[in-house]
Homo-oligomer: A and B are copies of this chain.
Amino acid sequence: MKVLIADDDRDLLGLIAFTLTQASYLVVKAADGPAAIRAFEEESPDIAVLDINMPGASGFQVCEAIRAKSRIPIMMLTVRGEEEDLIRALDLGADDYLTKPFSPRTLLARIKALLRRAGIENNSPVAAGRVALDVQEHTVRISGGNPVRLTKLELRLLQMLLANAGRTVSSDRLLVQVWGHRNSGDRQLLKQLVHRLRQKIEADPAAPQLLQTSAGSGYKLVVE
């Protein structure tokens, strides 16, 4: 698990890096905006922690740059009393924020929570109804049958549907969750992926029992 930390305060950077390393995360440090963007591109971290006030490019710009390419969880750091910043950051697609000063333990807890929410860290098998998903192995089992291998995207799609089992998930949301960023014109991708997933998990892919279409809105996983 690789964490990108961007902050211009050397001491704080060191402290955070130390704490996270202790907790056995890999840490990538950046002391200003441009360095953060570079680090993001070169290291492809799993999560980013960005200070809002940095020389070069502000945390906002970094956040925007990351969001243009990736859906990794982003946590913003800010000083007390600048709520305007936070609202803007959340609008830009940040997932969480922390107000300075904070204890390293708090940051750690928040990072864990973020990762858990993003479904990155949890590797235990998840199940609902007849569908049992093994994220580690990239496989599903339908009603106890043989495990079927899934590709990365198929897995992500199924994870999303499973997390909302029984309810319809809108195409737009799936698009964002699975691919990260897409102009909504790219429905064809989703169509294809659904089709391919159905070939793997449906007894009769032409008459889906599990992965059903909610015409005009999205798809849902039917569980009994």
Residues of A within 8 A of B (CB): 83, 86-87, 90, 95-96, 99, 103, 105-106, 109-110, 112-113, 117, 119, 136-138, 149, 151-152, 164, 167-170, 173, 214-217
CA distance A110 to B90 in the complex (A): 8
The answer to whether A216 and B167 have CB atoms under 8 Å apart is: no
* Copies held by the complex: 2
The answer to whether B117 and A95 have CB atoms under 8 Å apart is: yes
In the complex, the chain B residue whose C-beta lies closest to that of A154 is: B216
Given contacts A99-B99, A117-B117, A151-B216, contact A136 B167 (CB under 8 A): yes
Q: Write the nearest CB–CB distance from A217 to chain B, whole angstroms.
A: 5
CA distance A173 to B113 in the complex (A): 14
The answer to whether A137 and B86 have CB atoms under 8 Å apart is: no
Q: Write the nearest CB–CB distance from A100 to chain B, whole angstroms.
A: 12
Given contacts A105-B83, A105-B87, contact A168 B99 (CB under 8 A): no
CA distance A96 to B152 in the complex (A): 29
The answer to whether B86 and A136 have CB atoms under 8 Å apart is: no
- A167 neighbours in B (Cβ, 8 Å): 136-137
Q: Write the nearest CB–CB distance from A49 to chain B, whole angstroms.
A: 16
The answer to whether B86 and A109 have CB atoms under 8 Å apart is: yes
Given contacts A117-B95, A117-B117, contact A216 B109 (CB under 8 A): no
Choice from B95, B103, B152, B168 contacting A83 with Cβ under 8 Å: B103
In the complex, the chain B residue whose C-beta lies closest to that of A149 is: B215
Q: Write the nearest CB–CB distance from A67 to chain B, whole angstroms.
A: 14
Given contacts A137-B168, A168-B137, contact A96 B99 (CB under 8 A): no
CA distance A144 to B149 in the complex (A): 32
CA distance A161 to B152 in the complex (A): 22
Q: Write the nearest CB–CB distance from A90 to chain B, whole angstroms.
A: 5
The answer to whether B119 and A90 have CB atoms under 8 Å apart is: no
- A173 neighbours in B (Cβ, 8 Å): 119
CA distance A117 to B170 in the complex (A): 13
In the complex, the chain B residue whose C-beta lies closest to that of A177 is: B119
- A87 neighbours in B (Cβ, 8 Å): 105-106, 109
